[in-house]
Amino acid sequence: TQDALLANEKLAVAGRLAATIAHEIHNPLDSVSNLLYLMRNGVTEEESVQFMDMAEQELARVTQISRAMLGLYRESKAPVLVDLKDMLQEILLLMERRLTDERVNIHADLPSGIAVDAFPAELRQVFTNLIANAAEAAGPGGNVRVNLRPQPALSIDGHKQEAGATVMITDNGMGIPDEVRPHLFQPFFTTKGERGTGLGLWVSRGIVTKHGGTIELASNTDEATHGTSVSVFLATKPTINAGGD
């Protein structure tokens, strides 16, 4: 039947995904065991520092991948009221070290008193991913803006827009070329080589969709006005679909 076919298709996708993830995690773990092997066999002080740094970086990659996955597969509890200003400020504080190292200028415009029902750990993951992408795109000396806006309930021509909030993250990076756009939300699609996981946008969209929200991306590569803007709309009282598929 149609349903059975669909279920099969879903299983096939899940299987492929699991295989890809296993592969992505296998490589850094392999590097770590090689590095440990080398260290066991007598190395200079200098080498041992260097190898430990390398092992740490490889493990950080595994952590990065598993964190990204957790956002989607965590057991769902009930959503709680999340103050978006508090959450975004906390995220920016946690990212400060890294943003300062990368010499990215952050401008945050975060009015108080805007809250939505959500799974906080998951939402934090979304904003962290999007701000990280914006910072990576902006690069040294670049600008990233984080804006929070209330979204009043609207009813225009019988079309209803629920009350909620929009978080908009804008950067003045190089923008996204047309040929890249169709792939943005595919798992493991990255233009950053070894430095990227290609999971950020895919996981973020999964989380936002689960929250009944929307994520929209506008970008241009124009020489004078290049940059990217990602908007996340979240309803104050969302219909959360916890069916994790």
Q: How far is CA 172 from CA 36, 51, 149, 195, in A?
A: 42, 36, 20, 20
Which is nearer to Mg ion, 99 or 114 (by Cβ)?
Answer: 99
**Pattern 186-205, Mg ion, x by CB under 5 A:** --------------x-----
Give the closest residue to 215 by CA, choosing from 231, 192, 199.
231
Contact 125, 67 (CB under 8 A): yes
**CA-CA-CA-CA dihedral for 91, 95, 96, 98, to nearest 10:** -170
Give the nearer residue to ligand ADP in terms of CB position, either 163 or 180: 180
Smallest distance, ligand ADP to C-beta of residue 99, A: 14
Q: Which is nearer to ligand ADP, 160 or 195 (CB)?
A: 195
CB 177 within 8 A of CB 226: no
- According to DSSP, residue 220 is labeled E
184 binds, among Mg ion, ligand ADP, none (CB under 5 to 8 A by kind): ligand ADP
Give me the residues that bind ligand ADP (CB under 6 A), please: 129, 133-134, 137, 171, 173, 176, 180, 184, 189-192, 196-202, 228
Q: Which does 176 bind (CB under 5 to 8 A by kind): Mg ion, ligand ADP, none?
A: ligand ADP
Per DSSP, the three-state class of 145 is strand
Instruction: Catalog residues that contact Mg ion under the rule CB under 5 A.
Output: 133, 200
